[in-house]
Structure 1
Amino acid sequence: MSRGVTRRAALAGVTGASLAACGIGRAAAKSYGPGVTDSEIKLGTTSPYSGPASGFGVYGQAQSAYFQMLNEQGGVNGRKVNLISLDNAYNPPKALEQTRKLVESDNVLAIAGFLGTAPNTSVQKYLNGRKVPSLFLTSGAERFNDPKEYPWIVPLYPTYVAQGSIFARYILDQKPGAKIAVVYLNDDLGKDFLHGLKIGLGDKARSMIVREVSHELTDPSIDSQIIDLKGAGADTLMQFTTSKFAAQGIRKVHDLGWKPLHILASIASGIGATLVPAGVEQSKGIITARWEKLPTDPATLNDPDVVAYAAFVKKHMPSLNIEDNTAVPGYINAFMIAHVLRRCGDDLTRENVLKQATSLKDVAPPMLLPGITLSNSPQDYLAFHGMQLGQFDGTRWVSIGDVIRISAAR
């Protein structure tokens, strides 16, 4: 005997077919890019573990240590993160060579953005041409915030131009008749800071800046530049350079008995990396821009972010001098990458990684000062929109005023 199809069964069949066609009622399909499996996400990076900027190698160590911690906690959406970190010696050709290896031999999904203007510049065109995301690189050079020409290069650091402009605003407010001397690193870092200073000073830049001199990363010392600047009759000194040279400058200023208003680039403001080697007494009164909490600041020792960071360092980076704040941006970089990977879910393609990395909205990474969150868009990758000035009192950086709003300044 034949059996007819009941109305209920027919409706159930139609509904089931419709749901299946729409993809409802079943798990979303997984989509993987290079270096991704059900159990692993492979990333790559380079860091200066040797060479003239080897002190910045702790940035890469912090990235690796963060993902080690994360993997011990179960990884990202059940996948372990395998970060391959190679030495670039802070040498642009070496950085490019190592990055090519990571992409073409190790088949990484993305590059965990590394530290330094020169190394990142050397790989910018290559990674963009290969459509490999460089996630949250640590350089404030304006050239990296260029979504139109370099959509695969995603910066994070506040721009050097914006910082230079903020320093100018401070000088105009506090010392409008200043005679300014500038020593800067002869690369995009130093030039962008100087450019921002001139933008901030406006029409007064020509009269207020009495002398500007540069130096190379390979120079053994900047003592002669400091002597030159003092001889120009300046009463305000801007140091737009890295920690090694900033420490030399601070010591030489003290030895000369020179007492200018002294402003230091944020990249060289680490207490352990710069001010302790220079001498904390000699460093009193120096001003910088900041956006990160300091792990040794007595005012924030009980802050939950600082407590967690100190525990992280103790367990995963036991040889680190916690006064060396260079590790903090590496820690933040890794946090932000993990945040993006979580948002990707099972769509771990390079295209979706880029999409998630460029649509941040009020993200609050650990170790940022209160009131500073990160947001960007596909049209503007600038994620930091605030920072604060601080003055060194011999022990810690003391905040000056409120958080200052910043924007790209082209």
Structure 2
Amino acid sequence: MRRPLGSGRAGNGGRLRRGTAVSAAVLLAATTAAACGGRDDGDDGGTATGACEGQQTTGITDSSLKLGGIYPLSGPASAYGAIPKGIKAYFDYVNKEKGGVDGRQVEFVVRDDGYQPPKAVEEARRLVEQEQVFALFQTLGTPSTTATWDYANQRKVPQVFVATGASKWGTDDKHPWTIGWQPNYVSEARVYAQHLKQEKPKAKVAVLFQNDDFGKDLLDGFKKAIEGTEIKIVQEESYEVTDPSVEAQMRDLAGSGADVFLNVTTPKFGSQALAADAKITDWNPLHILNNVAASVTVLEPVGFKNVQGVVSSTYYKDPNDPQWADDAEMKLYQEKMKQYSPGADPNVPYHAFGWAVASSFHKTMEAAECKTREGLRDSMRNLKDVEVPMLLPGVKMSTGPDDGFPIEAMQMMKFEGERWTLTGDVIDTRKVFGPLGD
């Protein structure tokens, strides 16, 4: 029972603070809700009626939708705490000006796990069992999502668009309730390998990686992508998220003779590695910074003059890039961030990331034939070239029975002056490299 993007009456906004609800709500036509599995507003849980009879309706009514997110608002990955601010601004905007998401006012409850998997499990339980959210939206980080996906799938709660690019979210067939959003780390690694094949076909690569599923996934993908080429990894160094610094690892890598440095880190350590690279004046490799640490907020503390020529990849529009100054979605984003999150800088890319993923959820929820947990699960796994305005032109969301990766296209970028500059064309890794297992 698909229907186009709707508009409706304005709703109420809300606040974002740790452990509390972050605004967002909406109003859907009762006839559509009844036909597609709606329930009365007074019910705290239960199942749908009508065509979607028996499906779960916990956390959703004819006029409201409750989502829960888990982020490292504190701890070593706290830079990612900017993401829910962008999500909040988007939901506040659609609640007050567009009638919400599919006619329902969205309430977004954010919990802090400090980038600690045991804490993530605790917060997931709190959101599902106490807050009774409809879905877990955006659990951040590979370790935390890995710790919670068994629980989410046992409870049959959608864990939608998790904020991590681990390849297992799209290849595993035992967790149908969990799905990623951003390009997976293996596909990202393939893009870097392709870049080196073209620009430095005999590259000697030194790698710094986070010693967990995130770091190993990207590194393993890169190793496989350079098989059969003259590109060689000459040294690897890892770090733990509890480490105070990566300076020692950087000194070791500098002695490797590598002419390429692959920086597979989260923001705190990415910034440290960039700073260390700048200090080691007798080592000047091509510096490849993975996407999850490529925010301007990671580079700025190092000094822009020290990060010139660093390369990375992206898939959504950078609010600092003047080429998007007249872009309709960017203008809307800038305006509404200032209106609904006045303390947040719209130019921080993590805010734009939040806006983009919230818009992606909006479209996915609207496409759900049943407005139930099962309906969302099915919708997120049946996306067909869905356009999200904050994504780069040519980047669309697609999933299917044999493809659990919503976004698999990226474009290389180079840091010049005080911002990233897009280079080359958008690379659809599905078409260029084939399925992930190839």
Same fold per TM (> 0.5)?
Answer: yes
Residue of structure 1 aligned with 2:303, choices 279, 303, 316: 279
> Does the aligned pair in 1 maintain the 2:325–2:331 contact within 8 Å?
yes
Further displaced range: 350-359 or 26-35: 26-35
Per-residue deviation at 1:216? 0.9
1:190 match: 215
Distance 2:163 2:352 in 1: 11
1:30 match: 37
SS in 2 for 1:145: helix
Give unmatched runs, 5+ long, in structure 1. 1-23
Q: 1:357-401 CA deviation, whole Å, 9 max, x = no partner? A: 111111111221111111111332111131111111122222221
1:117 match: 142
> Does the aligned pair in 2 maintain the 1:362–1:374 contact within 8 Å?
yes
Residue of structure 1 aligned with 2:400, choices 367, 373, 377: 377
> Does the aligned pair in 2 maintain the 1:147–1:379 contact within 8 Å?
no
2:84 match: 60
Further displaced range: 40-49 or 258-267: 40-49
Q: Which amino acid aligns with 1:133?
A: P
Distance 1:286 1:76 in 2: 39
1:93 and 2:118 matched: yes
Distance 1:194 1:123, change over 3 A: same
1:328 match: 352
Larger Rg: 1
1:401 and 2:408 matched: no
1:13 match: none
1:163 match: 188
Distance 2:235 2:269 in 1: 18
Q: Which amino acid aligns with 2:287?
A: H
1:199 match: 224
Q: 1:143-167 CA deviation, whole Å, 9 max, x = no partner? A: 1113521111011110111111211
Further displaced range: 27-36 or 302-311: 27-36
Aligned pairs (5 A) from 1:271-310: 271=296, 273-310=297-334
Q: Which amino acid aligns with 1:276?
A: E
SS in 2 for 1:202: coil
Q: Which amino acid aligns with 2:429?
A: I
Aligned pairs (5 A) from 1:244-283: 244-257=268-281, 258-271=283-296, 273-283=297-307
Per-residue deviation at 1:204? 4.2
Further displaced range: 111-120 or 319-328: 319-328
Distance 1:29 1:372, change over 3 A: closer
1:356 and 2:379 matched: yes
Distance 1:100 1:170, change over 3 A: same
> Does the aligned pair in 2 maintain the 1:112–1:334 contact within 8 Å?
no
Give unmatched runs, 5+ long, in structure 2. 1-30, 39-47, 49-56
2:168 match: 143
Higher helix share: 1
The Cα RMSD (Å) is: 1.9
Q: Which amino acid aligns with 2:35?
A: A
Residue of structure 1 aligned with 2:154, choices 86, 109, 129: 129
Distance 1:159 1:117 in 2: 11
1:228 and 2:235 matched: no
Q: Which amino acid aligns with 1:143?
A: K
Distance 1:331 1:193 in 2: 25
Q: Percent identity?
A: 37
> Does the aligned pair in 2 maintain the 1:59–1:115 contact within 8 Å?
no
Distance 1:77 1:399 in 2: 34
Q: 1:158-190 CA deviation, whole Å, 9 max, x = no partner? A: 011111121112112211222110000111111
Structure 1 stretches of 4+ with a deviation exceeding 4 A read none
1:217 and 2:241 matched: yes
Q: Which amino acid aligns with 1:101?
A: R
Number of matched pairs: 383
